[in-house]
Amino acid sequence: MEYIISGFMTVFQPEAFLLMVFGVIMGIIIGAMPGLSGSMGIILLLPLVYMLSGDVALVMLCGLFCGSMYGGSISAILLNTPGTPSAAATVLDGYPLAQQGKAGKAIGISSFASFVGGIVSSLCLMFIAPQLASLALNFQAADYFSLSVFGLTVMAGASGGSLVKAFLSSALGLLIASVGMDPVTGSPRLTFGSYKLMSGFDILPILIGVFTLSEVMMKACSGSRPVSSGKSRIDKVIPSFGEMRSVLKVALMGAVIGVLIGIIPGTGGAVACFLAYNIARRISRNPSLFGHGSLEGIAAPEAANNGTTGGALIPMLSLGIPGDVVTSVMLGALVLVGVRPGPMLFVENPHLVYTIFSGMFVIQFLMLGFGFLFARISPRILRISREILMPLIVVICMVGAFSIGNQIYHVWIAVFFGIGGYLMRKFGFPAAPLILGVILGPIAEENLNRALIVSGNSISVFFTRPISLFFLILSAASVIWNIYSHIRKN
């Protein structure tokens, strides 16, 4: 209780509160713009993250995460184009409502459902994450190694597309992570005589290159078009009490689905929103309205995708394994500010953990307020064209990479990984497993080494420890399931 109060006190301090508001607003704007994602938003804020303390940086990033999840629904409703993949199901009923002249009502219900989803996921985060972390305190080196293997296999499996390519992406991440001094013997590896490579690659230029610069190149390649005509009319935004009551049941159901899906590493809002939408249609009293402008059809997926936010933070904070792409980028950002998520975080820095929990609650209220507010000006935001936005994003990326150590070298690295990321996208390689490989590679190597040293080079330690065995079985099951699904699909 003491930590919760202290967390709320930190969140309401002017600096943290203002940055949280900034994060939510940025998140809504970024989420609303098709082509910009929550992960890109976090990368664009990284230069700012550097200057902040861990807890303040985290609540700002959480604000952006939740805001972008909600923001995706605005363009889904107004433009028939989801701002983020997590808002894909919102299109189905949101756009028909906008065509009926009820865009304001649709955005209002989306804000309310996102709020319900966010509150439920914040509650689950507060209660489940500490339990999972206390369980993870019993982990030893072998268990951490197996957990890293599990994280890599699940993320690769859930990336979509070719399974082999996803695993190749992971392997490339592991290879990139090995550049520099070996953590145990101190021998240089893959440095090719360059002293700059002795310390390996910083995660920030890799994130900037692979996620953002490559996205700019993809956008240049995909041709030009205006983002919005900006002609949508926004009527009454705040829903009536009756409307809120009518969608509460499906919103709660969607929120629970979102949390459960979010906890599973490698999944995310895109899966949760369709699952919630289908279940909502089945339990609805008016299933025929679905697809033609049902309020329940908006509430269920919106509550679900915001439910995944807290859910995805559970494995990230308690185990150090991200739940989705955005949390994997967030994990990279946290490493930058010296915060290493995992069970020890709950022991060593409970204040930070409970600041995040408290921040998540406050963020939901901010998101509700700004959601209603932004609904009216959203058509104007959507008019900003990609042709103007992309060059400005390039500049922020350049400055962000430069700010790591005031060196142009890091900007070159970002551009190098940008070209690599572009080629990966072109040839169907997902980026998220690569980033996870870079993050989890050193953890896997260090713990593999430690486990083997302690056990006298016996690999049986990975199979005799129940936790390690459990994760290895889960990893194998995940790979087998993905292969089976792939074969069945073809």
Partner 1 sequence: MDKKPFSELMTGILAACLGIAVFCYSRTLKPAELGIGAGGYLTAVGVIFIILGGIQTVLTLRSGVGKPVWHIDAQKELKVVLIILTMVVYLLLLEYLGFLIMTPLLIISEMAVFGIRNWWKSIIIALLFTLVVYFLFTEVFMVFLPRFSLF
- Residue 288 binding partner 1, by CB under 8 A: no
Could you give the CA distance from residue 46 to residue 196 in angstroms, rounded to a whole number? 22
Site string for partner 1, 456-485 (x = CB under 8 A): xx----------------------------
- Residue 411 binding partner 1, by CB under 8 A: yes
Selected range binding partner 1 among 53-61, 90-98, 216-224, 316-324, rule: CB under 8 A: 216-224
- Residue 22 binding partner 1, by CB under 8 A: no
Q: How far is the CB of 165 from partner 1 (least distance, A)?
A: 7
Site string for partner 1, 340-379 (x = CB under 8 A): ----------------------------------------
Could you give the CA distance from residue 438 to residue 50 in angstroms, rounded to a whole number? 20
Residues numbered 217 to 236 that lie near partner 1 (CB under 8 A) are 217, 219-224
Q: How far is CA 431 from CA 123, 169, 195, 264, in A?
A: 31, 7, 28, 19
- Residue 415 binding partner 1, by CB under 8 A: yes
- Among 139, 167, 290, 346, the residue binding partner 1 under the rule CB under 8 A is 167
Q: How far is the CB of 408 from partner 1 (least distance, A)?
A: 6
- Among 102, 105, 281, 386, the residue binding partner 1 under the rule CB under 8 A is 386
Site string for partner 1, 107-146 (x = CB under 8 A): ----------------------------------------
Residue 175 or 238: which CB sits closer to partner 1? 175
- Residue 384 binding partner 1, by CB under 8 A: no
Could you give the CA distance from residue 3 to residue 234 in angstroms, rounded to a whole number? 42
- Residue 439 binding partner 1, by CB under 8 A: no
Q: How far is the CB of 178 from partner 1 (least distance, A)?
A: 6
- Residue 449 binding partner 1, by CB under 8 A: yes
- Residue 452 binding partner 1, by CB under 8 A: yes
Site string for partner 1, 23-52 (x = CB under 8 A): ------------------------xx-xx-
Q: How far is the CB of 337 from partner 1 (least distance, A)?
A: 14
- Among 392, 473, 476, 477, the residue binding partner 1 under the rule CB under 8 A is 392
Selected range binding partner 1 among 11-19, 56-64, 131-139, 450-458, rule: CB under 8 A: 450-458
- Residue 180 binding partner 1, by CB under 8 A: no
H/E/C letters for each residue in the chain? Answer: CHHHHHHHHHHCCHHHHHHHHHHHHHHHHHHHCCCCCHHHHHHHHHHHHCCCCHHHHHHHHHHHHHHHHHHHHHHHHHHCCCCCHHHHHHHHHHHHHHHCCCHHHHHHHHHHHHHHHHHHHHHHHHHHHHHHHHHHCCCCHHHHHHHHHHHHHHHHHCCCCCHHHHHHHHHHHHHHHCCEECCCCCCEECCCCCHHHHHCCCHHHHHHHHHHHHHHHHHHHCCCCCCCCCCCCCCCCCCCHHHHHHHHHHHHHHHHHHHHHHHCCCCCHHHHHHHHHHHHHHHCCCHHHCCCCCHHHHHHHHHHHHHHHHHHHHHHHHHCCCCCHHHHHHHHHHHHCCCCCCHHHHHHCHHHHHHHHHHHHHHHHHHHHHHHHHHHHHHHHCCCCHHHHHHHHHHHHHHHHHCCCCCHHHHHHHHHHHHHHHHHHHCCCCCHHHHHHHHHHHHHHHHHHHHHHHCCCCCCHHHHCHHHHHHHHHHHHHHHHHHHHHHHHC
- Among 137, 391, 476, 484, the residue binding partner 1 under the rule CB under 8 A is 391
Name the residues that contact partner 1, by CB under 8 A.
47-48, 50-51, 164-165, 167-168, 171, 174-175, 178, 182, 184-185, 187, 189-190, 213, 216-217, 219-224, 386-388, 390-392, 394-396, 398-399, 402-403, 406, 408, 411-412, 415, 418-419, 422, 427, 441, 445, 448-450, 452-453, 456-457, 490
